[in-house]
């Protein structure tokens, strides 16, 4: 914990099976023109849409809609949404959906009053907004990304095959409030549920597997990982277990709201690899991460041996007695692999539609970051992708 | 994680050895009339006072002072501070000190514009403010209480020998910002340092040892406890170890900012017992907690056996193989006792000035709460206090 840092996360969270009612507490704080943002329409089937519309009407809001936000929200869709919000003279954005819908809503929020092209400004140049930012509230229906309590947004440019995330520094980009009702997550298909679980797990790993320093953040990360492993095993067997699903939902929020990265460096190479796979295959985000993780971690293990050993002992209860550090560390990753298989994660990018011919392109689309235990060369990226096939 | 709850903690934290400069970022947001609040004057010896005054002057503030805030801030001192803030027409309060100074400043903040008596309104009737609340910033110089990022305040009435804490529900009572510079804690005497460490540890215990549910909060608590044990052992041997002291400072903040209590019940009986001892002896808060903890936990262990077993295994690495649950649980408390002795905590209330003649009075001053694994009778309070002698 040697660095200087600041922390501020003002998002108000309402958690629980009765949390939707707090929309009535929050909506009166904002203006009349609301843009409701959602995805493929599952919220119309499960009744959440009707409940939200009723509350918006009760609060006398004038509602426009952006529907059909896709799992990897695209730049053309962003342009469309900005237009709708401008035409509606939006005072407030209400995102109802998972991380993609929240991410997308943030991109709209920082673009409506911005005269420059948002792709170039925010996702290529990583600039901060210098315009008015629309306030945003979220009703979360899928867990994983942590978007409900952070200032991150990921947009995909299908033309250039770039999927780029920007974590805004400005706290105004964070949702003003988020409603987290674990019941909303119970109807999600098993595939989406476990993809979300792996997304959460990997968020923690990206922050954990970096740095030599021994700080509080890493201990909190270990607690979150242990909680997630415990609850994921219960949810895998019984997706209807409310307590397990609620623990997963809460863990997801704290896995990526900046807390566990405080005072330390971070990696994020698994996300860079996974996002490049995602840009080529449009596969579910969490599954792209799952498919590239073990080849990546086994590749960097020698460079971060002590941390991988600690991971094995503190997260996977590997008994280190009589073993070399290398053996302990490898046992930890083997335990992780067994858990990934147990809950049904995708272990190969070929299962997601990638093939050997795409590897050069995926490697080209992979941003190489420093922060991890080894800065990859392009050859190493290719090698890891090959091992992910 | 079965309950419904809300979470919002908007305090902005500036952490690190260069964090004081951010006073320059924050002060311009508030009005001209500032009341500077501090304790016994140690900040004048170590130069923090001069640094803060210089920044206040640079920002063209009109400064009044409340000095001499004592370790257990008293009601007469509160009345005095309210008067000073009223006469100064305070726009902003700046607390420079430890938890007592922060606690005290919050009590002033909710009282300056309140027409009712603050002791009766806030500490006897536990009401919320219905008046304007003065904004507050903190520069933390001692760690332990978590007051820098919560809405809690503890005031002692020396006349009635009552030490009462109120955790306000209103987020406006939380500091707008807190500056956490671990360097400021390096000059603290060893006794105060370890008292603060135990205060932190016990905050986590009070939230951990309650409830049968198995939720994320308890896993985060285990991570925080492991981090604290690790850093406390380093700091005990070398109080000048900046990394250990910074980890302790950060752990303290997260141990009592409501996060690890979310979705679960809490206990707080050790604080009730310790505060009653404190009201009779004026002893250092953390030491009063240390002296009553083990008698209390050993008393309630049979009622919360599974949690004490989990504590032993997950926090103290007790190997459960071939042992009864009771043996495992007792080994955990024995490990805790050894750690407490190792770092030099006070293990008996007699060392704090209490004696057998006071026990009836201390028991009378002890609020009995539910939430723990056993609601104590008055006889049990007496028994625990006797075992603490």
From residue A322, give the alpha-carbon distance in Å to each of A7, A306, A313, A326. 42, 16, 13, 12
- Reduced to 3 states (helix: H, G, I; strand: E, B; else coil), residue B183 is helix
Average pLDDT over residues B91-117: 97
Closest chain B CA to residue A314:
B314
Comparing alpha-carbon positions, the chain A residue that sits nearest to B10 is A10
| Rounded (10°) CA dihedral A275, A276, A279, A283 | -60
Out of B1, B15, B262, closest to residue A4 by CB: B15
CB B321 within 8 A of CB B248: no
**In contact, B288 and B373? CB cutoff 8 Å:** no
**What residues does A7 pair with on adjacent strands?**
B13
- Quote the distance between the C-alpha of residue A311 and its chain's center: 22
Residue B279 is predicted with a pLDDT of 86
Average pLDDT, chain B: 96
pLDDT band at B72 (very low <50, low <70, confident <90, very high): confident
Kindly state the average pLDDT of the residues A47-74.
97
- pLDDT tens for B340-376 read 999 999 999 999 999 999 999 999 999 999 999 999 9
Give residue-wise pLDDT tens across range A261-283: 999 999 999 999 999 999 899 89
Q: Is the pLDDT of residue B2 over 80?
A: no
Contact indicator for A184, A195 with CB cutoff of 8 Å: no
- Return d(Cα B204, Cα B96) in angstroms, integer: 25
Q: How many other CB atoms sit within 10 Å of the CB of residue B60?
A: 9
Rg, chain B, Cα only? 20
Q: What is the DSSP letter of B294?
A: H
User: Is residue B1 over pLDDT 60?
Assistant: no
pLDDT value at position A214? 79
B242 CB near a chain A CB, below 8 Å? yes
- Determine the pLDDT at residue A162: 87
How far is B328 from A369, CA to CA, in rounded Å?
46
Chain B residue with Cα closest to A214: B243
Q: Does residue A19 sit at the B interface (CB-CB below 8 Å)?
A: yes
Question: Could you tell me the pLDDT band of residue B287, with boundaries at 50, 70 and 90?
Answer: very high
The partner residue sitting opposite A246, judged by closest CB among B2, B6, B223, is: B2
Which residues of A are less than 8 Å from B262 in CB distance?
A: 15, 250
Contact A271, A202 (CB under 8 A): yes
> Looking at the predicted structure, is the pLDDT value of residue A297 above 90?
yes
pLDDT at A210 over 70: yes
Question: Confidence band (pLDDT; 50, 70, 90) for B214?
Answer: confident
Q: Is the pLDDT of residue B235 over 80?
A: yes
Distance CA B213, CA A355 (A): 46
Q: Is B288 left (phi over 0), alpha (psi -120 to 50) or beta?
A: alpha
pLDDT of residue A72: 87
pLDDT at A2 over 80: no
- A335 phi-psi bin (left φ>0, alpha ψ -120 to 50, beta other): alpha
pLDDT above 70 as % of chain B: 99
Kindly state the average pLDDT of the residues A141-149. Answer: 93
CA distance A216 to B368: 33
ipTM score above 0.85: yes
The percentage of chain B sitting over the pLDDT mark of 90, rounded to a whole number, equals 93
**Are B11 and A13 an interchain contact pair (Cβ–Cβ within 8 Å)?**
no
Chain B: closest CA distance from residue A102 (Å): 19
**What are the structure tokens assigned to B193, written together?**
């340092």
Report pLDDT for B162.
87
Structure tokens belonging to residue B41: 């004057």
pLDDT at B213 over 80: no
CA atoms within 13 A on the CB side of B42: 17
How sure is the predictor about A340, in pLDDT bands with cuts at 50, 70 and 90?
very high
CA B119, B73, B87, B110 torsion: positive or negative?
Answer: negative
Could you tell me whether strands B5-15 and A62-66 are parallel, antiparallel, or unpaired per DSSP bridges? unpaired
- Tell me if B129 sits within 8 A of B114, measured CB to CB: yes
CB contact under 8 A, A6 and B18: no
Percent of chain A scored above 90 by pLDDT? 93
List Cα–Cα distances, A76 to A94, A111, A118, in angstroms: 20, 13, 11
Residue B15 Cα, gap to closest chain A Cα (Å):
5
pTM above 0.90, yes or no: yes
Query: Is A240 near chain B, with CB under 8 Å?
Result: no
Tens digits of residue pLDDT in B17-36: 999 999 999 999 999 999 99
Task: List the beta bridge partners of residue B97.
Answer: B140
pLDDT given for residue A262 in this prediction: 94
* B317 contact A CB<8A: no
**CA atoms lying within 13 Å on the CB side of residue B242:** 14
Q: Which residues contact B250 (CB under 8 A, 6 or more apart)?
A: A1, A215, A216, A262, A263, B15, B180
Q: What is the share, in percent, of chain A residues with pLDDT greater than 70?
A: 99
* pLDDT single digits (tens) A153-196: 999 999 998 888 999 999 999 999 999 999 999 989 999 999 99
Tell me whether residues B1 and A247 touch, CB distance under 8 A.
Answer: yes
Q: How many CB pairs (< 8 A) connect A and B?
A: 140
Residue B338 above 70 pLDDT? yes
Residue written as token pair 């201990």: A219
Predicted confidence (pLDDT) at residue A19 exceeds the cutoff of 60 = yes
Is B222–A226 a contact, with Cβ atoms under 8 angstroms apart? yes
Q: Residue B6 forms beta bridges with which residues?
A: A14
**A311 near B CB under 8 A:** no
Q: How far does the CA of residue B185 sit from the closest CA of chain A (Å)?
A: 14
Question: What's the confidence (pLDDT) of residue A184?
Answer: 95
Q: What are phi and psi of B314, to 5 degrees?
A: -85, -25
């Amino acid at each position: 914990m040697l660095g200087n840092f600041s922390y501020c996360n003002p998002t108000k969270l309402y958690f629980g099976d009765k949390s939707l009612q707090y929309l009535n507490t929050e909506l009166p704080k904002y203006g009349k023109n609301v843009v409701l943002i959602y995805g493929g329409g599952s919220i119309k089937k499960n009744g959440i849409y009707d409940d939200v519309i009723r509350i918006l009407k009760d609060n006398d809001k004038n509602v426009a809609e952006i529907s059909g936000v896709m799992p990897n929200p695209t730049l053309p869709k962003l342009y469309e949404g900005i237009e709708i919000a401008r035409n509606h003279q939006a005072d407030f954005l209400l995102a109802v959906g998972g991380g993609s819908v929240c991410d997308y809503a943030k991109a709209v929020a920082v673009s409506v009053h911005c005269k420059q092209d948002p792709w170039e400004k925010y996702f290529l140049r990583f600039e901060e907004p210098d315009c008015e930012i629309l306030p945003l509230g979220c009703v979360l229906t899928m867990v994983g990304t942590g978007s409900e309590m952070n200032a991150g947004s990921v947009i995909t440019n299908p033309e250039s095959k770039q999927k780029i995330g920007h974590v805004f520094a400005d706290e105004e980009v964070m949702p003003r409030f988020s409603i987290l009702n674990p019941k909303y997550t119970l109807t999600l298909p098993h595939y989406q549920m476990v993809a979300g679980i792996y997304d959460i797990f990997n968020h923690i790993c990206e922050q954990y597997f970096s740095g030599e320093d021994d700080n509080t953040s890493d201990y909190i990360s270990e607690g979150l990982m242990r909680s997630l492993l415990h609850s994921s095993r219960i949810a895998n067997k019984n997706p209807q277990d409310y307590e397990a699903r609620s623990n997963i939902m809460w863990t997801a929020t704290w896995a990526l709201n900046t807390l566990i990265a405080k005072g330390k460096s971070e990696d994020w190479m698994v996300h860079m690899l996974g996002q490049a796979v995602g840009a080529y295959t449009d596969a579910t985000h969490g599954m792209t991460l799952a498919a590239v993780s073990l080849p990546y971690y086994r590749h960097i293990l020698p460079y971060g041996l002590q941390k991988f050993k600690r991971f094995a002992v503190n997260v996977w209860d590997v008994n280190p007695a009589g073993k070399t550090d290398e053996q302990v560390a490898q046992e930890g990753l083997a335990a992780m692999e067994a858990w990934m298989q147990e809950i049904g994660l995708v272990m190969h990018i070929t299962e997601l539609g990638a093939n050997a011919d795409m590897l050069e392109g995926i490697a080209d689309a992979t941003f190489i970051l420093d922060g991890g235990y080894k800065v990859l060369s392009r050859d190493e990226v290719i090698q890891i992708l090959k091992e992910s096939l």
